[in-house]
Structure 1
Amino acid sequence: MLLPFVVLTSLLSICLGQWMNPLYVDCGSKTGKVNSLEVIPCEGTSCTLHKGKNSTIKLGFRSNVFVKAGSVAVHGVIARVPVPFSLDNPHICDFLTPQCPIQPNQSYMYTFSLLVRSSYPPIRLDIRWELRDDNGNDIACVQFPAVIHD
């Protein structure tokens, strides 16, 4: 009689745990707060990025400080080692709604699309995306699991 109850509660815990776990972790937002993250395409608990296709990141955040220009830093985290990824345009203001300057306590959406190059190796990794203020502090920092796939 007790076994069905234990099985049911275990299944509920697993299902609710998966549902409540966000796709990302905050990896050190210091001068702001992450409100949301959407990675397109992304299904399940890990984002599959297909070579030769575009992927888009939409990062909603709120800053605690005034930011005139700001910057973006991206890393691929492989075996816990962050490997810098160079962006053609690391200026936060070119991808922000509403536009810069960033005002304290106002919500913003950063939207960036990127071609997953065919030259990238197929690999499982975490992607760390950092939006930085004028002093280099993270306004918003997210890290999420991804797979680069053919």
Structure 2
Amino acid sequence: MLYEMIGIVRPGNLAEVKEYAPRPLRTQHYSLLAPSTGLAFPPIPRSLPMPLYALRIVLAAGQLVLRQGGVIRSVDNWGIFALPRTISKAQQLHHNGHYFCMRYDASTETQHAVKNTMSLDPRVIRSTSVKLGDNKLETLSKFGQVNWLNSAR
């Protein structure tokens, strides 16, 4: 099944969380590959399209999908926006959030595992997953980029 997950991560510096403090870089590129997984991700350049604190959350969800035989279709960085209302999570009030969107093909068990992982992470303010289509080729071929400028008409 094709799923779309939209997540909201608390904006801020990754170094504020002790166990996620970045280590000094030795090369021009670095990889966020966890040594125990054995999954290969290409090295990510220093000029990231997405901040490192949000990218690590996306990579955790992506590794979970890949480990269980799924395929990641796209990851989009929507940036930092004001939340529709103040949200409290982990005894903190949040007014802004860093939005991202990830489309992936996976089983329903994998989707539940991704949902549980996102709900347990204290850096994630809110996340939701939606099943796209009915798993037929003609329906799935209609999905594309969201046309934000003309969608209100």
Instruction: Give the alignment's TM-score, normalised by structure 2.
Output: 0.30
Q: Which structure: larger Rg?
A: 1
Which of the pair is proportionally richer in strand?
1
Which of the pair is proportionally richer in helix?
2
Identify which of structures 1 and 2 has the higher relative contact order when contacts are C-alpha pairs closer than 8 Å and 6+ apart. 2
